[in-house]
């Protein structure tokens, strides 16, 4: 919002349009993916956002993993655990087998991939063999080809649980898949220079950041940046209670202002650079096609 207010004040002079897009459900739910599918980004030539963190990271040194999230359900047969255990099909056993197999699989995948899960439903009472279990799972990788390969191996682990116990298996996607983030180098270079001008020193050492964002899907279509800006003094990892406290501090307020200024200055730079501006406008027209350009 701060970046938009700053740019709006000079938008007419620069000959640009400023658009603020509220995008809910970024962590889970793929809000930007749904908005993209519905045409909300159709009139957007470039897109920018920033994310807080414990360190400043140069846009071109900050990527994210593609991720697919899904729910696995096992359906067995309930039976009394003491009177007739032999008549039951234990859905919880299928889940345990799958979890053990996935734990072993983690030894055989590259270090830049991630598999995470939790059991959302695992039974009701101790004396009834569980008839149904539900596992929420996600798989991450830095490119879509590797993501698909690891995903298929994870599914094979879940299939092993079904095969060993006789439980029925159902797999369904729980939200849109997220693409890996692709930072635009031209926008990123201007943003980095503006951050330095604000007294910050963004990290640029080639380390991949990890994590996932639905901004990756936007970057597939629209030239974008999604850098990380530091809350100075924070030493806490993202998505922890400690970082939540840091995000409510005076230092975080300063971070919000710096992020807004850096994006606003970057917007000005892009508008005033004739080569970059022309290239982005032409790319936007090509994306829209001849019919919508008339």
Average pLDDT over residues 21-40: 94
Nearest to residue 185, comparing CAs of 276, 268, 258? 276
Q: What is the mean pLDDT of residues 81-88?
A: 97
| Mean pLDDT score across all residues of the chain | 95
Q: What is the mean pLDDT of residues 259-270?
A: 98
Q: pLDDT exceeding 70 applies to what percent of the chain?
A: 97
- pLDDT(210) > 80: no
pLDDT tops 70 at residue 40 = yes
Kindly tell me if the per-residue pLDDT of 147 is higher than 80.
yes
pLDDT given at position 27 = 86
Say yes or no to pLDDT of 176 above 80.
yes
206 pLDDT exceeds 80?
Answer: no
Q: How many CB atoms are closer than 10 A to CB 248? A: 10
> Mean pLDDT across the stretch 168-194?
96
pLDDT of 247 reads 96
pLDDT for res 294: 47
Phi and psi, residue 204, nearest 5°: -150, 70
Would the pLDDT of 11 be above 80? Answer: yes
Q: CA angle 119-209-216, nearest 5°?
A: 80
| Mean pLDDT (whole number) for 226-230 | 94
What average pLDDT does the segment 242-250 reach? Answer: 96
Per-residue confidence (pLDDT) for residue 204, from 0 to 100: 79
Q: Where in the chain is the domain with CATH 3.30.70.360?
A: 67-173
pLDDT (mean) for 111-136: 96
Residue 239 has pLDDT above 80, yes or no: yes
Q: Tell whether the model's pLDDT for residue 127 goes beyond 80.
A: yes
pLDDT at 255 over 80: yes
Tell me what pLDDT residue 290 has.
76
Q: Tell me the average pLDDT across 158-168.
A: 98
Calpha distance 275→265 (Å, rounded)? 17
Q: Which of 21-30, 95-104, 125-134 has the lowest mean pLDDT?
A: 21-30
pTM metric for this prediction: 0.91
Q: How far apart are CA 214 and CA 145, in angstroms?
A: 18
Query: What's the rounded mean pLDDT across residues 243-264?
Result: 97
Quick one: average pLDDT of 135-152? 96
Give the domain 67-173 fold: Alpha-Beta Plaits (3.30.70)
Residue 276 and residue 186 in contact, taking contact as beta carbons nearer than 8 Å: yes
**Both structure tokens of 81:** 């655990």
User: Between vectors from CA 229 to CA 223 and to CA 233, what angle results, nearest 5°?
Assistant: 175
For the chain, residues classed under CATH 3.40.630.10 are 2-64+179-287
Both tokens of 147, joined, read 């993501």
Q: What is the pLDDT of residue 58?
A: 87
pLDDT winner (highest mean) among 49-58, 149-158, 281-290: 149-158
**Domain 2-64+179-287 bears CATH identifier 3.40.50.11600:** no
Section 95-104 average pLDDT: 98
């Amino acid at each position: 919002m701060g970046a938009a207010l700053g740019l709006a004040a000079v938008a007419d002079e620069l000959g640009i349009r400023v658009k603020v897009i509220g995008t809910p459900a970024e962590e889970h739910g793929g809000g930007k993916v749904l908005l993209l599918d519905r045409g909300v980004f159709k009139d957007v030539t470039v897109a920018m956002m920033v994310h807080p963190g414990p360190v400043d990271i140069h846009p071109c040194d900050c990527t994210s993993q593609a991720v697919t999230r899904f729910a696995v359900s096992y359906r067995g047969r309930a039976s009394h655990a003491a009177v007739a255990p032999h008549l039951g099909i234990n859905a919880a056993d299928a889940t345990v087998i799958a979890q053990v197999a996935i734990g072993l699989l983690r030894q055989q995948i590259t270090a830049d991939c991630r598999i995470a899960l939790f059991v959302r439903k695992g039974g009701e009472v101790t004396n009834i063999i569980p008839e149904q279990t539900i596992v929420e799972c996600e798989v991450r990788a830095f490119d879509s080809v590797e993501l698909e390969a690891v995903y298929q191996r994870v599914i094979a682990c879940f299939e092993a649980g079904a095969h060993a116990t006789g439980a029925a298996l159902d797999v369904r996607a729980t939200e849109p898949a997220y693409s890996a983030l692709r930072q635009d180098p031209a926008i990123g270079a201007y943003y980095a220079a503006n951050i330095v001008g604000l007294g910050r020193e963004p990290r640029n050492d080639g380390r991949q950041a990890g994590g996932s964002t639905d901004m990756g899907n936007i970057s597939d279509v629209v030239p974008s940046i999604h850098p990380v800006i530091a809350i100075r003094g924070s030493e806490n990892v993202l998505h922890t209670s400690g970082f939540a406290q840091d995000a409510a501090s005076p230092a975080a307020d300063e971070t919000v202002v710096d992020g807004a200024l850096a994006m606003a200055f970057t917007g000005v730079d892009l508008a005033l650079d004739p080569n970059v501006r022309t290239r982005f406008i032409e790319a936007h027209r090509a994306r829209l096609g001849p019919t919508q350009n008339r």
